[in-house]
Amino acid sequence: MSALAEPKTEEMTSAVAMNSALDCAMTADPKVILLGEDIADPIGGVFKVTKGLSTKYGTHRVRATPISEQAIVGTAIGLSLAGYRPVAEIMFFDFVTVAMDQIVNHATKLRYMSGGATPAPITVRTTVGGSRFGAQHAQSLEAWFMHTPGIKVVMPSNPVDAKGLLTSCIFDDDPCLFIEHLNLAYSSKAEVPVEDLRIPLGKANVLATGSDVTLITYGPTVPLVRAAAETLAAQGISAEVIDLRTLMPLDLDTVFDSVTKTRRAVVVHEATQFMGPGAEIGAQIHEQLFGELLGPVLRVGARFTPVPFSRGLSNAPSAERILGAAHALLASPRVNRSAGRTAG
């Protein structure tokens, strides 16, 4: 019996990997249609994720739209009810707020209100980034959607996950919000399978095993947390690193298994710390594992201010804050809670 051939791979950035995911999905299913501002060639999207696809599949399947987020998402919902699998591009996460009625009041509720008869398999792709685009173009709003029943929320941290998770979103029968971080789109490359690749939604990835503390994160703070774990290792501290990958559904089983082992946890994200995703994750850990913990779950997130344009004023988590939280948690059960605070 001959051995199975290894899947063909190519070195890709996350942006190229997402283009490959869209390409594979459009080849596999003629009902996959793309909509968004400037997504057709020659522009191919402001961030070039749809480059070449209108040339290959035609502008009837890669539809450049007017600047109207309500129309983009509303049309996608209508198409989904007619049997299509539309992928709607909203240029910046902040602009999703313009289409909140279509997403939160309609797409997420259709399956429930119809007794399962009318799922809405739309994927809303959007971008978020650091302070380079200022307070109205860089907000991390994922907690708003995690709070809404009926939608899946996904945020990849590397090119392989970007392709595999986006493909899974496209072929999922529920609405999916796929969040792409601009700092990751072109910053690194990886060997990514060329053919169809699907990574299950709702399954976290354990990036490093450890025994002293669990560092839980996703998206743009994954590289930061991995670097912090390496620094901790050099100091003799063993940290387990979990990349959540999907924020809804949330893989709490993996989180609980890890924290049961390490008995300490720090949640790190670029979203605002106050009322952010870490608040729910921390509460879940406390509810389920209170008797096991050697200290309270700490959070490291953005400060409670608008996103500043100046990088010098960045309110995002830093390596120093992550390390400070880990050291404080390890120092004593009576944690110096100022290590995880962001105010003041």
The catalytic residues are: 137
Amino acid at 166: L
Residue 10 is given by DSSP the state: E
Helices (H) and strands (E) in the chain, counts: 12, 14
Q: Which helix (H) or strand (E) holds 54?
A: helix 53-57
Contact 31, 84 (CB under 8 A): yes
* Euclidean distance between CA atoms 156 and 228, whole angstroms: 19
* Euclidean distance between CA atoms 104 and 236, whole angstroms: 46
| Residue bearing tokens 């200022």 | 134
Query: Could you give the 3-state DSSP secondary structure of residue 285?
Result: helix
Contact 38, 45 (CB under 8 A): yes
Q: Which helix (H) or strand (E) holds 143?
A: helix 142-146
Q: Dig out the tokens for 112 from the structure.
A: 């429930």
Give ∠ CA 146-268-344 in degrees, rounded to 5.
105
For residue 270, give the nearest of 167, 189, 179 by alpha carbon: 179
